[in-house]
Structure 1
Amino acid sequence: MISGNENLLYIAEAYPQLISEFEKQGLGNYFKSENLNKIGKFIKLNTVLSSHKINPVLFIESLNKQLENQTDQNVLVETDLGSLDFSAMLPCGLRNPFKEYCESYFASYPTLFSELKMLIEGNVNHELSYYPLLDSIEDVDELPDVIMASDINNFFHKPFVERFIEKGAFEAYQPYHLNPYLEKVEYSDPLGYYTMFTANMLVMVVDKKQLGDRKMPERWSDLLAPEFENSIIMRGEDDFFCNAVLLPFYKDHGMEAIGKLAKNIRKGMHPAEMVKAANKKDGGEAAVYIMPWFFSKRLKNDEVEVVWPTDGAIASPVFLLVKKGKAEEKDALLNFLMSKETGELLRDRFFPSTHPDCNNNHLHDEVKWLGWDFLRNHDVGKLKEDIRENFMQVWNKK
């Protein structure tokens, strides 16, 4: 019988005959193999139903009635329902090297890490991802003991903050004072809940052919000028555009700036697609691309100039959450993640290291960080939705 506390992978393996019922409710994507392997191990049925506003009592009752009517009761499959020890959802430029680095290190110390259950992925798709489910999770046991995540996501939203952060379910693991490169903008969490790991630094890339006789942008506010109408590409697609970019524009210039920026955005692209477009020798698709510093290093077009804004590259956070009371148990993992060697890997991939002994001199001085006062003085989830609505109202009129 199903109670709702089972994870999705368990249900898929134990009751494959019920998957069609989930498909009828529009939940079929969760049961595709690639998604089961990513999030099915530690997402409970009740969480999925709540996030999709499906009455869990009625739906689970209907599932159990089907099971009662089946003559074959041997479908139950023994499976491990243990939660992950470590999950990481990383910026695209970091995922593969970090995963290989972790796997190599863990294999070298089998005694310490042979039982470690981990998942390392790129920052998952916004349409079907782990992040929206966080608003419905009520039990901290549904979460891995150590979580690494990217961007201003649902870990900063009011439901998660009130349910877990403010109640002390997590505590920062910061064995040293942060490297001054990021700490000069007060990057570390003053309340000691989030462990700041690195940042995805966002810069401008300017196609000088497409720019023409317009003035080279120097500050982020320059991108709001009318002469850049329909001339900028940023990360996004369909009805989603990058919050790491939109939130700083709102903070610095208010909601009016969101409409101005929407007029100037030509389209949304993945950063890898931006690189391909900007590298075209016969001219790219936009005058300005907003992309991570890592991806800008792939540019090979002499007509393209990387601009580190004078008011700072935008620092999109990459952080850790460690369950309270788990730091000692996971000390081998945490010491590895926060080590100088890991910091050097980050630095070499053009992500700033927070380790004090790592040299970040290859990065320009100026950093733009939203700040903890902003994150804690706003209902971040609601603000993101308000910004998206204002942006799309203008965008859809184009």
Structure 2
Amino acid sequence: MNPYQEFIDSPDFHKEGCINLMTFPACAIKVETTEAIKEFVKNYNQSHKVKIHYPMGNEDSPKSYMEALRWVEDPNRYPDVILACDFKSLFAPNFKKFQEQGIFTDVLKDAKPHSFYETFDYKDPKETYSMLGASFSVIVFDKSVDSNLPVPTSFKDLLDPIYEKKISIHGHGDDSCDMTIVVNIYEQYGKAAALTFAKAIKELRHFSKVVKEAGKGNKSIPPISIIPENFGYLLRNRKNIEVIWPQDGSPVFPLLMTVKKEKADQAKELIDYLSGPELGQYWGDSHFASFNQNVENKEYQGKPIRYLGWDFVYDKDILEFRESLEEEVLEIVRGYPMDKKEKVQRIC
């Protein structure tokens, strides 16, 4: 039985005769991005007969929408335009059925990207997903917590037993963690390395807590944290803090968009805004590299990055693979298994 069917059938979830939009941007850009889109939608709806339905504009917590998306069986009830960070709802079994039916498309497949994106294979060969932006992770070493620990320069360094229970990564409680980091280690060094890394994790903490506590000598917290570049930038001048770009490459954390083919023309103004320089420059200024060629991103020249690649994404059935690996990692971190029914969907 579908626990979300009543919600999916409601006009809050999907409005007939409208351009239905949902967005789930990364934490680092979530609030400002949502507010900017909300303002665009407000102005658009005042001057257009066909309105944009944007439930994120009236919803403090869009988590329920993300959870419901996996249960949508009728593509007519799925958003016409959707933005989502990382490899989650847009790679769920129901969406893969829509993909196989050719319902959604990469509307930017012929667009010239920012020069940075030409350094890796960003383009979806199945022409479903458009990459709008990406963020990267840095390693933060807090000397005020442990000044005797060697400063790591890479993710490979963190596999050394001396770092066991010395690291924090992003997470929610004990049922969700930053799998971008873990899968990157898996892709580079294998499954055993990913599980070794799990032994190094002491805590799952939000980036904001890392920034708040860094450099204050709190011996109860891990001396090493892995956080997004824009949060690391806030710590660049803080005493006893060293921010390290990993020498073996910072993993690409993507913001993806997909659009229903039949709505692409009607939604062109919206798509142009979502992929345009105004929103893109805000992302660029926030250390979230925009795909738009006219945006001035931060300088990434000489900074190694790693993208999983579409072969890995498709061959591994990325969502199922990540969720299975995540449970193994979390069982090591928390020290006990958890019933899958207790898990909830997280935006990032």
Q: One-letter code of the match for 2:252?
A: A
Aligned twin of 1:359? 296
Describe the superposition over 1:4-38 as per-residue Cα deviations: whole angstroms up to 9, x where unpaired: 99642877xxxxxxxxxxxxxxxxxxxxxxxxxxx
Identity %: 26
Matched, 1:186 2:186: no
Contact persistence 1:87–1:146 (CA under 8 A):
yes
How far apart are the structure 1 equivalents of 2:90 and 2:152? 33
Aligned length: 329
Q: How does 1:122-141 map to 2 (within 5 A)?
A: 129-141=64-76
How far apart are the structure 2 equivalents of 1:10 and 1:396? 38
2:290 partner SS: coil
How far apart are the structure 2 equivalents of 1:284 and 1:360? 37
Aligned twin of 2:223? 287
Matched, 1:213 2:130: no
Aligned twin of 2:269? 332
Q: 2:286 aligns with which of 349, 359, 362?
A: 349
Note the C-alpha offset of 1:228. Answer: 0.4
Q: One-letter code of the match for 2:195?
A: G
Q: 2:12 aligns with which of 9, 18, 41?
A: 41
How far apart are the structure 2 equivalents of 1:207 and 1:4? 45
How far apart are the structure 2 equivalents of 1:396 and 1:131? 25
Q: Which sits farther off after the overlay, 172-181 or 358-367? A: 358-367
Aligned twin of 1:277? 213
Contact persistence 2:12–2:55 (CA under 8 A):
no
Matched, 1:248 2:184: yes
Contact persistence 2:202–2:333 (CA under 8 A):
no
Shift in alpha-carbon separation, 1:215–1:286, aligned structure 2, 3 A:
same
Contact persistence 2:106–2:259 (CA under 8 A):
yes
Matched, 1:166 2:166: no
How far apart are the structure 2 equivalents of 1:9 and 1:164? 16
2:192 partner SS: helix
Contact persistence 1:157–1:380 (CA under 8 A):
no
Shift in alpha-carbon separation, 1:5–1:344, aligned structure 2, 3 A:
closer
How far apart are the structure 1 equivalents of 2:316 and 2:218? 45
Q: 1:302 aligns with which of 239, 250, 254?
A: 239
Shift in alpha-carbon separation, 1:119–1:310, aligned structure 2, 3 A:
farther
1:319 partner SS: strand
Note the C-alpha offset of 1:102. Answer: 2.5
Note the C-alpha offset of 1:249. Answer: 1.5
Note the C-alpha offset of 1:226. Answer: 0.4
Q: How does 1:140-155 map to 2 (within 5 A)?
A: 140-155=75-90
Question: Unpaired segments of 5 or more residues in structure 2?
Answer: 337-348
How far apart are the structure 2 equivalents of 1:378 and 1:5? 28
1:209 partner SS: coil
Q: Answer 1 or 2: higher relative contact order, Cα 8 Å, separation at least 6.
A: 2
Describe the superposition over 1:327-350 as per-residue Cα deviations: whole angstroms up to 9, x where unpaired: 100011011111122221110111
Note the C-alpha offset of 1:250. Answer: 1.5
Q: 1:91 aligns with which of 26, 29, 40?
A: 26
Describe the superposition over 1:93-150 as per-residue Cα deviations: whole angstroms up to 9, x where unpaired: 212211232234444553148822113389978xx64444444321111211100001
Contact persistence 1:315–1:367 (CA under 8 A):
yes
Shift in alpha-carbon separation, 1:112–1:206, aligned structure 2, 3 A:
farther
Note the C-alpha offset of 1:360. Answer: 2.3
Note the C-alpha offset of 1:283. Answer: 5.9
Shift in alpha-carbon separation, 1:208–1:106, aligned structure 2, 3 A:
same
Q: One-letter code of the match for 1:139?
A: D
**Larger Rg over CA atoms:** 1
Aligned twin of 1:375? 313
Describe the superposition over 1:290-341 as per-residue Cα deviations: whole angstroms up to 9, x where unpaired: 1111222232622111111122222111110101121100011011111122
Superposition TM-score, scaled by structure 1 size: 0.74
Q: 2:112 aligns with which of 156, 159, 177?
A: 177
How far apart are the structure 2 equivalents of 1:92 and 1:130? 16
Shift in alpha-carbon separation, 1:146–1:279, aligned structure 2, 3 A:
farther
1:251 partner SS: helix
Shift in alpha-carbon separation, 1:114–1:325, aligned structure 2, 3 A:
closer
Question: Unpaired segments of 5 or more residues in structure 1?
Answer: 12-39, 44-79
How far apart are the structure 2 equivalents of 1:302 and 1:114? 54
Contact persistence 1:206–1:306 (CA under 8 A):
yes
Note the C-alpha offset of 1:209. Answer: 3.0
Aligned twin of 1:229? 164
